[in-house]
Amino acid sequence: MARNEYVVFKGALKLGVPFLSGYQGDPHYVIVVDDAKGGEFRIVTNVKSDSSLTGAAGYLVLYSWNPYFDHPMVTDLASLPAGLARAGFPKLDYVHDRRLVDLTTMRPITLDTGSEHNDINALVNAMLQLDMSAAPVDYRYPGKSGSDMRRAWKPAKPVTVYGFGFLFEPGEDGLHETHMNQGNPKPQPGSRVRDHSSENGTFQDGAVIVEVDGRFQALFVAFQTQLVPTDSRGWPIPGKSHPILD
């Protein structure tokens, strides 16, 4: 099973903080939401992989964006109270819930912070309805390797964010692993692929779902190193599992 506690957090969007060139630490897009107590809660999503299979392109994450997410769970999500839910919420599984996401639609997406408009930063910026025409505001991100001053933008209209992932400990002031958390193979000795097999499990996948003007959108992220299908423990099946892009 993946580390820490699997949760969902529902909150009003305050800021979107794309990962730009020159930032420190792991490449994560930071979604800052209201914690309903006057503070903030951070939902971080990977924009680059830490394991390469095929050179530079192997660092690209896989994504599937559903701009009209109509899964039956949206009724349950809408009825959730704002804040942190540790129980009583829909749990996500990319592989075993066929209604959630069509894995055949997943594609690599670049992290290009300067010249392109089809990168993952731009996708999340648009999904969060950020007003990119406005001047950015300074945001200090307290990363594991030290605080990092970043640029953030406010939304142009009200956005409700539902972040699925694992709770930051001990502060419980954010969540991470907002991606598929199963299908990680045990790397062979000497492999360049990092070992994430301890994170495998079922019905514990992460995602970012947003609600804007009564419409739900969903962003699903996985890695090129992850394999499908998986067994009842979330592990790849010997002789049967394959990379998602296959």
pLDDT (tens digit per residue) in 28-86: 999 999 997 888 999 999 999 988 887 778 889 999 999 999 999 999 999 999 999 99
Give the residue numbers spanning the domain of 191.
6-243
pLDDT of residue 216: 98
Measured CA to CA, the distance from residue 213 to residue 194 in angstroms comes to 41
Q: What is the pLDDT of residue 151?
A: 94
Q: Is residue 62 one of the residues assigned to a domain? A: yes
Whole-number pLDDT of residue 145: 62
Residue at 125 is within a domain = yes
pLDDT at 53: 80
Predicted local confidence at residue 1, as pLDDT: 44
Identify whether 82 is part of a domain: yes
Residue ranges in the chain whose pLDDT is less than 50: 1-2
Tokens matching residue 23: 């930032």
Could you tell me if residue 47 is inside a domain? yes
Residue 1 maps to a domain: no
* Predicted pLDDT at 118: 62
- Please report which helix (H) or strand (E) contains residue 75, including its range: helix 73-79
Of 67, 100, 66, nearest in space to 182 by CA: 100
Q: Which residues, including other chains, have CB under 8 Å from residue 112's CB and lie 6 or more apart?
A: 119, 121
DSSP code, position 123? H
How many other CB atoms are found less than 10 A from the CB of residue 206?
Answer: 26
pLDDT of residue 112: 64
Least Cα distance to 106 among 165, 54, 60 occurs for 60
Element (H, E) at 32: strand 28-34
pLDDT of residue 88: 95
Number of domains composing the chain = 1
Is residue 43 a part of any domain in this protein?
A: yes
Within-domain flag for 206: yes
* 207: in domain: yes
Residue 55, both tokens: 């050179």
